[in-house]
Amino acid sequence: MCDLKLCVLFFVQGAFTGVCSQKHVPSFMNNCDKFKEKGVDSIVCVSVNDPYTMNAWAEKLGAKGKIKFYGDFDGKFHKTLGLDLDLTGALLGPRSQRYAALVEDGNIKVLNVEEVPSDFKVSDAETLLKGM
């Protein structure tokens, strides 16, 4: 997923969902140049969705070429990190917590996890940039 030296990963609860589409992805799209200035090789958005949904969502948001979109279709990646979340009550089923990370040479250097799934306080691009 992130085989480059310096990578930004951000994780959303679901493609085409409100906060993810209206705030989370745009915060990273609007800061692509700032991340590149800091030496980031790649910005990656991950969600518990299939790759076809992620591709369609990237196209709808106009994010192709700026951000890579990957589907963690069965949620195993998030479970491995202990950041999985059951959103069955919100009709989303097993998902991921909302978070953003800076990964350098395969090691997580900064990890910002939201306390509440609907919050968007610490997993935004601006907060991650400050943490760099």
Domain ranges (residues) in the chain? 6-131
- The mean predicted confidence, pLDDT, of the chain is 88
Stated pTM of the model: 0.86
CB atoms within 10 A of CB 28: 23
Q: pLDDT tens across 75-85, in order?
A: 788 788 888 77
| Residues whose CB is less than 8 angstroms from the CB of residue 15 and which lie 6 or more positions away in sequence, other chains included | 21, 47, 49, 53, 54, 56, 57
Determine what percent of the chain is predicted with pLDDT higher than 70.
Answer: 93
Q: How is residue 8 written in tokens?
A: 């930004």
Report which residue type is found at 49.
N
- Report, as an integer, the average pLDDT of 52-63: 96
Q: pLDDT tens across 84-125, in order?
A: 777 777 666 677 888 999 999 989 999 999 988 788 999 999
CATH of 6-131, one of 3.40.50.2000, 3.40.30.10, 3.40.50.300, 3.40.1160.10: 3.40.30.10
- Is 2 among the residues known to form the active site? no
Which of 2, 7, 20, 45 does the annotation list as catalytic? 20
pLDDT score at 13: 80
